[in-house]
Amino acid sequence: MPHIDAKDTKRDTDVIEPVSGESSSIDQQDDKIGAIGSQVHAIPDEDMNVISTIMSPHGKEVLVSGKLEDADDAMKLAMQAESITVTEEEDRKLVRKIDLYMFPLMCLLYSIQFMDKVSNGSAAVMGLRTDLKMHGNQYSWVGSAFYFGYLFFNLGPGQIIFQKTRWLAKTLAVFVVFWGMILALHAAPSVNYASFVFLRVLLGCAESMVTPTFTIITSQYWKKEEQFMRVCLWFGFNGFGGIWGNSMAYGLYTRQNTYSIEAWRILFVITGLITITVGFLIYFHIPDDPSKAWFLTEREKLMVVERIRTNQQGFGNHQIKWYQVKEAFRDPRTWLYFLFSICSNIPNGGLTNFMSILIQNDFGYSSGESLLMTMPTGAVELVACPLFGFLSVWCAKKKIPILRDRLAWGIFAAVISVVATCMLAFADNSRNAKLAGAYLLYVAPVAFICVLSNISSNTVGYTKKWTVSSINLVSYAASNLAGPQTFIAKQAPSYTGAKIAMLVCYAGSVVVLSLLYLINYRENKRRDQIAAEKGLDEKALENLEFRDLTDFENPKFRYAL
């Protein structure tokens, strides 16, 4: 084992860092504890913190810092929580309480961020393109412009700002207020196409942090096995946002002759004001982490820490640990998430901006009818996402093989998307079949939810989690940016090329999710075999799960399927 001076707190290895091969030798302490088993060694320092080495599942020595600032924010509560005992009934009550206080506002915000996106498509059939004198592929670039901002902010600024801040929810709330203001300003451009595109870019920057922040929040409060259902719920409220946005658009459109300005401008003002209001609610209601939750008692805060121990992760750490960034880039899962987002979101980017237009032009509905006929897409998503999450939980309780795994449901949803695209693209003689295919496409988000919940559950180490999430959302943004470009103006109204691109992408997503399932399954088997052969004293290193170790480093970690 490497000899470590616990007083030498300025060494690079005070930050959790994997070490391969021989470690440098440092003066041995008189109070060194002997090796426990063959994997863990521990040396208490003067402050009773622990510096130790453990053997990672990949056979490398990992130096674990004993400094609290290097550990997870949950460590202080974890030390107090060791003395409490939580009954199953207490745990159930706590989960219900967290759901009640957290979920309504989270779901509302996610509804609004999707309503903001579909407002662009609704405005298009309400006269936006005519009033701003768009021609050719200019409207396609309006759809892509949002994701230029989204892409830019996820390439670095967003990750740095949100990982460094200790006011996660409050920082998000400030961004929400700004995006509401930007959205309301969409009503301002008269005939200036360039200014409208610029506002779409700014909107993308402001909205880009909602999904990664919600992913972090979900991992802070709920166990691995609970996270998929929760992500299904808040993500599924995209559907409610679609229904809400299209309902407002239809109401404004039918009374457009009674307003002094164009109805599509009023739509942007209203959605902007709603967003600003929710931003203020987020600021005062959602806590920055469970230790600051105003609705939890001191005992309940300790209970939250105890219940998430099995996640092998805590609330987060605000140091940017560059070795975790490198590890994120070396992890094959990162690039499977990346590929999946490409496959899933090229179709999504096109449909978000063109579904209303497709229903109007390809299916032969009027402008008003197309707004009404677009609403069921939101209903499908609102029902399908929570339903798949519920089925996953039910199958897990019944211990039904494969069906208890969230990735199996993601693969199933991706297969449904392939079938739905075939209906949309090739049912030439049946408008009803094509319309049914268009609606079924809104089951596709279930597969994307699987990936988000995998990042939440299976990417451990706070810097690594933010890095993987950012890489995934860079892919998300780039794909959504490219999606509208598959709808080529000269192919209107059927947009055959776009439909073929969607079919290829959804088929690719089935392959990628299957590979992800296989890799996680085999790695869990390998780790179980290592643990059975070598063993690990569970008491050898207390609170290992709150040391901000990555999934590559922590021998106790297993990937959720």
| pLDDT tens digits along 408-457 | 999 999 999 999 999 988 887 777 888 899 899 999 999 999 999 999 89
Q: Which residue has the higher pLDDT, 397 or 47?
A: 397
Q: What is the pLDDT of residue 51?
A: 53
The reported pLDDT for the residue numbered 72 is 66
Structure tokens at 499: 């439909």
* Among 47-56, 60-69, 262-271, 395-404, the least confident range: 47-56
Q: Cα 342 vs. chain centroid, distance in angstroms?
A: 15
Give yes or no: residues 63 and 198 share one domain.
no
Does residue 219 belong to any structural domain of this protein? yes
In this structure, is residue 555 part of a structural domain?
no
Residue 481 has pLDDT above 60, yes or no: yes
Residues 94 and 65 in one domain: no
Q: Does residue 511 form part of some domain?
A: yes
Residues 465 and 421 both lie in one domain:
yes
**Higher pLDDT among residues 153 and 192, named by residue:** 153
Cα torsion angle, 82, 83, 86, 87, sign: positive
**Which pLDDT does position 545 carry in this prediction?**
76
Residue 282 domain-assigned? Answer: yes
- Residue 6 confidence class, pLDDT cut points 50, 70, 90: very low
Residue 548 lies inside a defined structural domain of this protein: no
Q: Are 470 and 143 in contact (CB under 8 A)?
A: no
Convert 412-441 to b/e letters by CB count within 10 Å (16 or more is b).
bbbbbbbebbbbbbeeeeeeeebbbbbbbb
Same domain, 418 and 300: yes
Q: How far is residue 11's CA from residue 49's CA, in Å, rounded to a whole number?
A: 16
pLDDT bucket at 542, cuts 50 / 70 / 90 = low
The count of domains in the chain is 2
**pLDDT over threshold 90, residue 224:** no
Nearest to 561 by CA among 522, 504, 511: 522
Q: Give mean pLDDT, residues 341-366.
A: 83
pLDDT at 14: 37
CA Rg value for the chain: 25
Residue 307 pLDDT level (bands cut at 50, 70, 90): confident
Q: Which residue has the higher pLDDT, 497 or 541?
A: 497
> d(Cα 548, Cα 84) in Å, to the nearest integer?
23
| Band of pLDDT at residue 191, cut at 50, 70 and 90 | low
Q: What's the CATH code of the domain at 209? A: 1.20.1250.20
Q: What is the mean pLDDT of the chain?
A: 82
3-state helix, strand, coil in the chain (%, to 5): 70, 5, 25
Average pLDDT, stretch 509-515? 96
Three-state DSSP class for residue 522 = helix
pTM of the model: 0.80
State residue 13's pLDDT score: 36
Single-letter amino acid code for the residue at 332: P
- Is pLDDT at 50 greater than 60 in this prediction? no
- Of 475, 541, 47, 74, nearest to 291 by C-alpha is 74
For residue 375, tell me if it sits in a domain. Answer: yes
Has residue 44 got a pLDDT over 60? no
Residue 70 confidence (pLDDT): 66
pLDDT of 310 above 70: yes
pLDDT of residue 537: 53
Range(s) of the domain holding residue 365: 88-534
User: At how many degrees (to 10) do helices 406-426 and 496-534 cross?
Assistant: 170
- Phi, then psi, of 137 in degrees rounded to 5: -95, 15
Note whether 182 and 295 are same-domain residues. yes
The fraction of the chain above a pLDDT of 70, given in percent, is 87
Domain boundary among 40, 70, 100: 70
Among residues 176, 459, 466, the alpha carbon closest in space to that of 318 is found at 466
Q: Decide: 506 and 414 in contact? Cβ < 8 Å.
A: yes
Residue 175 pLDDT > 70: yes
Q: Report residue 5: phi and psi, to 5°.
A: -90, 115
Does residue 51 share a domain with residue 187?
Answer: no
Domain check: are 165 and 293 in the same one? yes
Q: Do 182 and 298 share a structural domain?
A: yes
Query: Using the 8-state DSSP alphabet, how is residue 487 labeled?
Result: S
Residue 79 lies in a domain: no
CB atoms within 10 A of CB 456: 27
Which pLDDT band holds residue 524 (cuts at 50, 70, 90)? very high
Contact 307, 94 (CB under 8 A): yes
Query: 179 and 55: one domain?
Result: no
Tell me how far apart the alpha carbons of residues 462 and 315 are, in angstroms, rounded to a whole number. Answer: 8
The reply to whether 147 falls in a domain is yes
Confidence of residue 559 (pLDDT cuts 50, 70, 90): very high
Residues 258-295 have pLDDT tens digits of 888 899 999 999 999 999 999 999 999 999 989 899 99
> What is the pLDDT at residue 190?
67
Residue entry with tokens 């996660």: 168
**Residues 61 and 95 placed together within one structural domain of the fold:** no
- Residues with Cβ < 8 Å from 387, sequence gap 6 or more? none
Give the best-scoring range by mean pLDDT among 52-66, 78-92, 349-363, 518-532.
Answer: 518-532
Q: Tell me what pLDDT residue 119 has.
A: 83
Looking at the fold, whether 42 and 103 belong to one and the same domain comes out as no
Among residues 175, 164, 199, 452, which one has the least CA distance to residue 316? 164
**Burial zone of 182 (CB within 10 Å; 0-12 exposed, 13-18 middle, 19+ buried):** buried
Q: Are residues 353 and 234 in the same domain?
A: yes
Lowest mean pLDDT among 212-216, 288-292, 307-311: 307-311
Nearest to 98 by CA among 386, 301, 306: 301
